[in-house]
Structure 1
Amino acid sequence: MAEMTEDLDAVDLLLAQHEQMRTLFEEVSSAEGDTKRELFDDLVRLLAMHETAEEEVVHPMARRKLDDGDDIVDSRLAEEEDAKQVLSDLYDMGVDAPGFDEGLAELAQDVIAHAEAEEAEEFIMLREVLEPQQLQRMATAIRAVQAMAPTRPHPAAGESATANILAGPPLAVFDRMRDAIRDWTSSHP
């Protein structure tokens, strides 16, 4: 995905990630066993990194540049906070637990509605008010943030850019260590 999105501006990069989320939700819901677990891990990682980038890069820019930026961002942050909690609960529950599929279906519906609201309000307006070079620089910032972002939701860490900057790097290191251990143990039974 990284090579395919290298030339995309911020809006196109985020739209591509939204499409990837939609696809992963469908794939997780129809998969079973280890495949389901692996796909869900991919979805969790994508959602955590995507939301971190929005909270650190996109929402602050929207607050500064859009006429109704504060109202738009506040609505999106409330949705993101709810989704992080549900995603964290599903992650802790595990893909084989009773109620996982129902919870995943509800989360998918909420995340897709959230993405559509971002696309219709925040993203389209940012494209209207920012120059192409600004959108390219934002895409570079998004990629940098995602490279350092936690790979799991951490609802207790907060929803602000400041909270992400303070808590994000240590949580990201912890998450990536845990991912490496999980991957190693699953490949060395």
Structure 2
Amino acid sequence: MTAAAQKQDVIDLLLTQHNEIKSLFAQVKAAKDGEQKQQAFQQLVRLLAVHESAEEQVVHPAARDDAGNAVVDARLREENAAKHVLSDLYELGVETPGFDAKFAEFEQAVVAHATHEEQEEFPALRRNTEPNTLRRMAGAVRAAEAVAPTRPHPTAGESPVANMLAGPPVAIFDRMRDAVRDWRQSHKD
């Protein structure tokens, strides 16, 4: 891990990821062909899956004390709804009619969710949590992301316990599927 990453706190890490997510939404929409669109969408799916899983395990439990149960419960409901839509989009495929319209609605919901976190949850965490703890939380988020599933699994639930129990075995399966998919794509005739 770089020195800059070691100094980064959890809020800065999540804000950076929110910007990456927004950039990937733009890349999917701007893609000129199906393959380019599929690759950008796969990157978006992966980032959203690991990001939300890590938030559910590390950030939301810590934010309950600072931002309150109502704020965290609302974010968890949004994330659960997003998992279902993302799973539907993944199954639908980027070239299916109707994908773009559903994707646009999904983007609006995800950006609204990120805005809620940035305006309600993150300020409370920053105000009420020691800087060293916020830096350690960034490390915990990175660790959770390293073993998180790479696609949405809405039936797994959104509790930290469900993520910790189901996450690693599902992540192994997801990462194997990703490796096979990537190998096939790199070995097309």
TM class by shorter chain equals: over 0.9
- 1:117/1:178 Cα in 2 relative to 1: closer, same or farther (>3 Å)? same
Residue 4 of structure 1, CA deviation: 9.4
The answer as to 2:5 corresponding to 1:8 is: no
Q: How far is the alpha carbon of 1:188 from its aligned partner?
A: 1.1
Which residue number corresponds to residue 160 of structure 2? 161
Counterpart of 1:54, as a letter, is E
Q: Which residue of 2 aligns with 1:43?
A: 44
In the other structure, the counterpart of 1:99 is 98
Report SS of the residue matched to 1:40. Answer: helix
Q: What is the rounded CA distance, in whole Å, between the counterparts of 2:55 and 2:80 in structure 1?
A: 13
Q: In 1, distance between residues paired with 2:26 and 2:2?
A: 24
Root mean square deviation, CA, Å: 1.3
Equivalent pair of 1:5/1:13 in contact (CA under 8 Å): no
Shift of 1:69: 1.6
Q: TM-score, normalised by structure 1?
A: 0.95
The one-letter code sitting in structure 2 at the alignment partner of 1:135 is L
SS of alignment partner, residue 97 of structure 1: coil
- Normalising by the residue count of structure 2, what TM-score does the alignment of the two structures yield? 0.95
Change (3 A) 1:103 1:13: same
Q: Which residue of 1 aligns with 2:56?
A: 55
Structure 2 unaligned spans of 5+: none
Alignment of 1:27 with 2:27, yes or no, is yes
Q: CA deviation at 1:8?
A: 1.5
Trace 1:74-89 onto structure 2 (pairs within 5 A): 74-89=73-88
Q: 1:94 to 1:3 in 2, by over 3 A?
A: farther
**1:131: how far off?**
0.9
Report how far residue 75 of structure 1 moved. 0.2
Q: Which runs of 4+ in 1 moved over 2 A?
A: 2-5
Identity of aligned residues (%): 58
Give the Cα separation in 2 of the matches to 1:115 and 1:61. 17
In structure 2, what is the equivalent of residue 144 of structure 1? 143
Report the AA paired with residue 90 of structure 2: Y
| Pairs aligned (count) | 186
TM-aligned CA distance change 1:40 to 1:100, over 3 Å = same
Could you tell me which runs of 5 or more consecutive residues in structure 1 were left unpaired when the two chains were aligned: none
